[in-house]
Amino acid sequence: MTVRFPVITRMGNKLRPRNEEDRNAWFLTTSAFFMGLAMGGIVAFMPVFLARLGASTEILGIYNSVPGLLMGALLIPGSIFSERYANQVAVRCKVQAVKRVVQLICGILPFFFSSEPLIYALVVVWTLATLLDAFGTPAFTTVISRAVSPARRPRVNSVRWAVMAGAMAISSALCGWILDRIVFPTNYQVVFLGTVLLSLLDPLIYSRVRIEPFATLSRTSTMLKGGWGEFFKPIMQHKPFMRFVLRTAPFRLSLNIAVPLYSLFWVNELAATDTLIGFRGTVANFALVLGYLMWGRLAHRLGHRSLAVFGGAGAALYPLLTALVPSAVWIVPVALVWGLSVGGIDVGLFDMMLGYSTREMQPRFGAVWNMIGQLMIFLGPVVGVALADWVGIRGALTAAGIIQLASLALVIGLPRDC
């Protein structure tokens, strides 16, 4: 007699790819898990490492802002590079593989440098690794827009980001535990090298995604002859996209104001241990998992604009509440607010950007969107550092939350959906 378990059977049917779209969704989601391991390891703890090495507010501001400025300048050449290749999946995979190799150098540098020289060396190498995204991001935008149908994309993206957040949660907890049990700075070398090596599985799995060839070589050649004006002309003429970019730019700026302040606040003012910082990352990312799944289900009911607005309002509470915490232990429950809110911003804005773009020029529109985002990543920390020098870190965190709430007024003025 065969015993059947209907729940398990239904879950198995959902996990089993039935067509190419299912297959693409599976590989996109699985690759995100290994990317999340690096994000919960080397990405999350690099600024903490710099703070423990004695990096100043200005150095952490440079660490957070300069890569954004340089990447923003390179995104247009990066999109030109991407448009020259029919296989957009391969472009993204090769760039990610090279980026991981460069990140490995960060785990090796403490063998050759110490103290202040190590701080500068890490900032330089990390910036080089980040700049590689200028060539992979346009290709990624094209792949995600074609790998699954527009109707299914919000759900796939929310699950993909949820899996990534889950991996970040696991990685943050384990890395924080390791960091407090191995002598400094060897502990950070172990975390950095281990998480980067595991993340090399991301491009390997991502390479299995299949989309139709992106045949734009002839158009790109014409565009190069016409100069930058020819590149930007179709974007400037597409008024819905330009309106969307201009209305969301202040909001995206506000999201980055407090970024360089958190690590300094945790380490210097709250004296938080690495275990506590890692546990805080775990709680934040498990909340992020729930948030992504929740916002993905609400996307069609509320519309993408409402997702961004509600998520942005919740995320604005995070710096405001952080500024009020009396001791280190409170950074853990406050992280829940961040985790539950950010998913609405990601799901809402990303799908709005794709909706306002033209399908045949996806790398180009994606490059401009990301270029503006990188400019905000540069300007935000500059504003945050200036505020901290003026009113202190707690005052700067409070100001960042207020600015973020105010900037949502422009987003509310967008159409309900694209």
**From CA 262, how far away is CA 64, in angstroms rounded?**
12
User: What are 151-166's pLDDT values in tens digits?
Assistant: 777 778 778 878 887 8
What are 69's two structure tokens?
Answer: 């400025």
User: What are 91-117's pLDDT values in tens digits?
Assistant: 888 888 888 888 888 888 888 887 788
Among candidate residues 277, 288, 38, 283, the one with its CA nearest the CA of residue 163: 288
Per-residue model confidence (pLDDT) at position 361? 65
Q: Where are the alpha helices (DSSP H) in 238-361?
A: 239-256, 261-264, 274-302, 304-322, 331-356
**From CA 171, how far away is CA 293, in angstroms rounded?**
20
Cβ atoms of 34 and 202 within 8 Å: the answer is yes
Q: At which residue do the structure tokens 């001791």 appear?
A: 327
Of 167-171, 241-245, 412-416, least confident by mean pLDDT is 412-416
User: What are 21-54's pLDDT values in tens digits?
Assistant: 788 888 888 888 998 888 888 888 888 888 888 8
Cβ atoms of 27 and 205 within 8 Å: the answer is yes
The contacts of residue 389 (CB under 8 Å, 6+ apart) are 57
Cβ atoms of 121 and 238 within 8 Å: the answer is no
Cβ atoms of 132 and 4 within 8 Å: the answer is no
Per-residue model confidence (pLDDT) at position 12? 43
**From CA 196, how far away is CA 41, in angstroms rounded?**
8
Burial of 362 (0-12, 13-18, 19+ CB in 10 A): buried
The contacts of residue 107 (CB under 8 Å, 6+ apart) are 42, 188, 189, 192, 193, 196
Question: 3-class DSSP state for residue 94?
Answer: helix
Which sign does the torsion angle of CA 21, 22, 23, 27 carry?
Answer: positive
User: What are 343-354's pLDDT values in tens digits?
Assistant: 888 878 877 887
Average confidence (pLDDT) over 300-325: 86
Residue 294 CA from chain centroid, whole number = 19
